[in-house]
Amino acid sequence: MDLNQMRDSMKMLLKESRYRHSIGVEEVAHDLAIIYEYDTTKACIAGILHDCARNIADEELLKECERYHLPVSDIESSCAFLLHGKVGATYAQQKYGVEDEEVIDAIIYHTTGRPAMTLLEKIIFTADYIEPYRKPLPRIDEIRSTAYIELDKAVYMILENTLMYLKNTGAVIDMLTVETLEYYAKVLQKN
């Protein structure tokens, strides 16, 4: 399946606002790939498909994990929304013919991040947060401008914002996100 077919499929599958978000992520991922000298096609594929399982209800996400034998942590079990990355990566393989492991991993980790992300993972993680159609977020303008000159710092700032939001709202926090913040704090200290 080519990129245009993937876009068409997402347009039919996702509600309009989620499709617009996915297009925004694809566009930002393309731009970041150019800046950081990464394969733009792979960035666009990961960008357009990153939320391909986002409109699935929590119970269904859990069922899909069982169906595809995907591991589910206790935190993911209590906050099944987090599973849309894993299920989406499986759909990218099964339904859209994506075989590239970098693209698959970028889809898996676009919500939580993980320590030592690949360049594509950082691009999709960042594009998901800063795409132009997203509702206003604290420090978003600063994060957007940072993303185009210092990607690791932008990743750190996104993680900081995300964890602050989760703490303030009393939401469940995936420890992988905490570990990722700690990892990128060390990366920035070294530089």
- pLDDT per residue as tens digits for the range 129-141: 999 998 889 999 9
- Count other C-beta atoms under 10 Å from residue 125's C-beta: 26
- Tokens matching residue 21: 């978000």
Given a contact cutoff of 8 angstroms between Cβ atoms, the answer to whether 83 and 66 are in contact is no
- pLDDT per residue as tens digits for the range 72-90: 999 999 999 999 999 999 9
Write down all domains in the chain, each with its CATH number in brackets: 3-190 (1.10.3210.10)
- Tokens matching residue 163: 């964890």
Q: What is the rounded distance in angstroms from the CA atom of residue 157 to the CA atom of residue 162?
A: 9
- pLDDT per residue as tens digits for the range 39-81: 999 999 999 999 999 999 999 999 999 999 999 999 999 999 9
Helical segments of the chain, H only: 3-13, 16-35, 40-49, 58-67, 74-78, 84-94, 101-108, 119-130, 140-147, 151-169, 175-190
By percentage, how much of the chain surpasses pLDDT 90? 97
